Amino acid sequence: MLNTSFVLPCGATLKNRLAKAAMTERLSNKDGKANQAIFNLYEQWINTNAGLLITGNVMIDSMHMESAGNVVIIDESGLPELKQWASMTQPGQHLWMQISHSGRQTSRFINFHPKAPSAVQLKRLGLFGRPKTMSEEDIEKVISGFVKAASLAKKAGFDGIQIHAAHGYLLNQFLSPRTNLRTDQWGGSLENRSRLLRRIVQECRSALGNEFPIGVKLNSADFQRGGFDEKDSLQIVKMLEEEKVDLLEISGGTYEKLAFFIMNEENQKESTKRREAYFLDFAQKVRQISSLPLMITGGVRTYDFCESVLKANDVDIIGMARPFITNCNHISAFLEGKKESLDNLVIRTGIKQIEDSAEGGFYARQLFRMAKQKSIKLDYHPISNTLFLIKTEFVKGMAKRFG
C-alpha cells in the first residue's frame, strides 16, 4: 500500500503514499530567497523517492517569520530561485509549498511587537514580545499575502500548496479561543474564528483553479486548557470538506505545548506507543464524519504499521519529518519494504525549560550539515544545541533587520 498511487480530489496523482512533512529549514539568506543550501538539502530528499515533499514554512511577511532563516514571498523578486527549487523533482513526484504567517510566534529578534488576533503574549524564555491586535486592514493583508504566495508557487512550478493552520501560528491563533479574544466577525464563535482560514482557502482556490492541489495542516488540538480542542477541530474538518480541500494533514500542539514532546515522554500510555502514530485516534474520528483525504505525521517509524493503517483506510498518506534527517539514506529502502524500521531519536537535557530548544537545535544542526552535503552528526551536546538555535536566530534576525 505504501508504494501505491493516490488520486487527490482535484485530479492530481501522488505516485506513492509517503510524504516528507514540513520541517523548518532556516537556510535562506537575509534576502529571504531560496538558495543553494536549500537546493542541496532538497536534492537529498528528492532522491528518497517519496511521493510528496512539503517545504518548511514559506512566510508571507518578512516581519512575521517562524525563523529568521525562512524563505519569504512578498513579490516576484525571488521567482527565479523558486522556479529552480520547484524544478528539482523527479517525474511524478510532488513538491508543495507550505505557506504560513507566524503571528505572535515571531521572536524578538525579528519583531518586538508582532501582530496577532489579540494581544496575548507567548511567554517562552523571554523570546517573544507582546503582540498588537490586528486591524481589519491587517487581516485583509494576510489574506492577500497568502493568495499572492500561492499564486507565485503555482507560477514557479510547485505542484501544490499547504496552508499552515496548526502549531500555534497565525491561523491557529485565530482558531483558538485562548489566543483569539476578539468580539468582531473574526472572533467569538467557531464560525467567526475560522473565518480567516476559510477565506484564505476560498480565495486561493479561486486564484489557483480547481485542478491545483490545496492542502491544509490543522491541529487536532492545542493540548492547552481553554484552547482549540478536538471538538472544534472536527467542526473545522467539515468546513474544509465543503471548501473541497485536497489533503488534510493532522497535527497538534503549539510553541507552548509541542506535540512531539508530549507524545515522546516516558509517561505516555503504552497503547499510544504501540500505535506509533500520535494522531491516529483523531484520524479515525475524522473518518467517521468526513471523506477528506488524510495525512498523519508524527511518530510513525515501522513499515508494518504504515501498511496496516493504510490497508485499514484509517489514513491515505503517511507523513514523516525527522526520519528524513536521521534516516534519509534509508527512506527509499523503507518505501520498498526492505527497511523495517526507522530511528526515533529523543534528545533530552534534564532541564525542563530548554528541552524543546535542545531537540530543535539538534535537528537544525543536522539540516545545516545536510545543506553543506555533510553526513549527520549525533554526538552534539544537548545544551549546545539550544545555544546553537538561539545564536542562529539572533545572527540571522539581526542580518534581516539591519542588513
pLDDT band for position 325 (50/70/90)? Answer: very high
Give pLDDT, residue 267: 47
Give pLDDT, residue 194: 98
Return d(Cα 171, Cα 308) in angstroms, integer.
33
pLDDT digits (tens, 9 = 90+) for 349-386: 777 777 778 888 999 999 999 999 999 998 998 889 98
Question: Residues of the chain with pLDDT > 70: what percent?
Answer: 94
Q: Are 94 and 158 spatial neighbours (Cβ–Cβ below 8 Å)? A: no
pLDDT digits (tens, 9 = 90+) for 143-164: 999 999 999 999 999 999 999 9
- What mean pLDDT do residues 309-327 have? 95
Provide the 3-class DSSP secondary structure of residue 226. coil
Q: Are 259 and 252 spatial neighbours (Cβ–Cβ below 8 Å)? A: yes
Q: Which three cell numbers stand for residue 38?
A: 536549500
pLDDT band for position 273 (50/70/90)? Answer: very low
Give pLDDT, residue 345: 74
pLDDT digits (tens, 9 = 90+) for 344-359: 777 777 777 777 788 8
Q: Which residues pair with 52 in a beta bridge?
A: 19, 94
Residue 252 CA from chain centroid, whole number: 10
Q: Are 13 and 59 spatial neighbours (Cβ–Cβ below 8 Å)? A: no
N residues, the chain:
403
Give pLDDT, residue 59: 98
Look at residue 60 and tell me whether its pLDDT is greater than 50.
yes
What is the 8-class DSSP label of residue 129? Answer: P
Give pLDDT, residue 262: 46
Phi, psi of 101 (to 5 degrees): -140, 130
Look at residue 276 and tell me whether its pLDDT is greater than 80.
no
pLDDT digits (tens, 9 = 90+) for 90-121: 999 999 999 999 999 999 999 999 999 999 99
CB-based contacts of 170: which residues, under 8 Å, 6+ apart?
64, 100, 101, 102, 103, 104, 116, 117, 142
Question: Residues of the chain with pLDDT > 90: what percent?
Answer: 77
Return d(Cα 249, Cα 381) in angstroms, integer.
33
- Give the H or E element holding residue 398: helix 382-402
Give pLDDT, residue 403: 65
Class of 6-350 in CATH: alpha beta
